[in-house]
Amino acid sequence: MAFRESGNLKPFEKHIWLSSPTMHGEELKYMSDAFNTNWMSTVGENIDKAEELLADYIGVKYAVALSCGTAALHLATKLAGEKLYGQPRPNEGTLSGKTVFASDCTFDASINPIAYEDGNAVFIDTEYDTWNMDPKALEKAFSIYPDVKLVVLAHLYGTPGKAEEIKEICDRHGALIVEDAAESLGAKYKLGDKWVETGSLGDYNCISFNGNKIITGSSGGMFLTNSKEDAEKVRKWSTQSRENAPWYQHEEIGYNYRMSNVIAGVVRGQFPYLSEHIAQKKAIYERYKEGFKDLPVSMNPFDREKSEPNFWLSCMIIDKDYMCPQARDDNHAVYNSESNKSCPTEILETLSRFNAEGRPIWKPMHAQPIYRSHPFITANGNGRAVSNAYIDTGKALDVGMDIFSRGLCLPSDNKMTAEEQDKIIEIIKNCFR
């Protein structure tokens, strides 16, 4: 076995979380205000203030507070479809029959809205520099599907992707961008010579306040835009699509997606702590980087010239030559331990034995059972059916699956002490003995 029990390493008494909510007290005040004024609804001062705070911070004109990031992504994707292709027939989604390019390595919430709107996702492979959508693969995809007009772009783990290249490609092809900044609130990106926030880079932008995010509302999300008309449309859809009539009149499909005034109170109370959370997460990242400097691993990368991540989750990837054999089917993972080597499965199982929580990297969408029949495009072109039993085509590229196989998310809770983190580092070092 590669992992060597070393003397005094005992499981943590208190569970170490991947990323748990960090409350400060003001949240309770705003929640109580909602209670005391009886605005226990999807209307109220907390919602107005939370929208104002986020729009100002991100540098967009309008924010619409919604029940979750997935709702924001759904309405953003629906809106993009309607802008591109007009109002759908009553029983059809706005992307009916249309192809949409999407980040491959992400949470399925990023891209499910394409299916909600009857579109067909084509997954775009990942690059090694930021672990986000590969502009070269996107360019290839446009050469194969020149008519595509929509791209869903996620920034993973708080690290901005190559948005400048991707925006340039999309502009050239007349395509719109839905930006999934669910994980990257507070991450900055240098666009030209101007620093901007993620959440302002697309045509339709989304963030999440899910319980494990950099700040939380316990749940919640926001749609961000510079267009008043778009903000009003999303607000209408999110409140059951009421028309202007004295009764409940409906001419299009609606949703109950609005944020509650209680949740907005939590968001409002959390907001002043965003930069503190980012600083804590950055310190965690730096401590891991230093702690692992003698191991054959590296941290999730970012472009220092062009971005300042929010460091939401610290992740690591094991050098190819130091991977022990590991196999994963749809539901299980096994590995063969070897000395001086390890693998994500061994590390995650070991962390769990020590009462600490890590997580596999997002399994790429093109490898998910539900999306296996969808096209997958790499920097070499079609990413499926490229191996050949008789010759080495050298074309079987799959960066997302490689990062999934060799990478993992580390415990990144901002309440973890330096001593606890040092012990996590020690546990991981022991996996390589």
Q: Which residues bind ligand PLP (CB under 6 A)?
A: 68-70, 73, 106-107, 109-110, 154, 180, 182-183, 208, 210, 221
Residue written as token pair 């609005």: 258
CA distance 31 to 34: 5
User: Quick check: helix, strand or coil at residue 407?
Assistant: strand
CA distance 111 to 74: 9
By the 8 A CB rule, do 46 and 38 touch?
no
Q: Residue 293: how many CB atoms within 10 A of its CB?
A: 9
Of the pair 73, 427, the CB lying nearest ligand PLP is at: 73
Q: How far apart are CB 212 and ligand PLP at their closest, in Å?
A: 7
Distances (CA, A) of 347 to 148, 212, 248, 304, 327: 41, 21, 55, 28, 14
Of the pair 99, 210, the CB lying nearest ligand PLP is at: 210
By the 8 A CB rule, do 362 and 87 touch?
no
**Paired strand residues for 317:** 298, 407
User: Quick check: helix, strand or coil at residue 342?
Assistant: strand
- List the Cα angle 253/258/261 in 5-degree steps: 160
Of the pair 107, 292, the CB lying nearest ligand PLP is at: 107
Q: Is 429 exposed, middle or buried (CB count within 10 Å of its CB: 0-12, 13-18, 19+)?
A: middle
Of the pair 63, 73, the CB lying nearest ligand PLP is at: 73
By the 8 A CB rule, do 18 and 413 touch?
yes
Of the pair 198, 342, the CB lying nearest ligand PLP is at: 198
Q: How far apart are CB 292 and ligand PLP at their closest, in Å?
A: 24
Whether the CA torsion 30, 413, 65, 257 is positive or negative: it is: negative
- List for the chain the helix, strand, coil content (%; round to 5): 35, 20, 45
Q: Which among 171, 155, 198 has a CA at the least distance from the CA of 57?
A: 198
Q: Which among 129, 176, 127, 168 has a CA at the least distance from the CA of 152?
A: 176
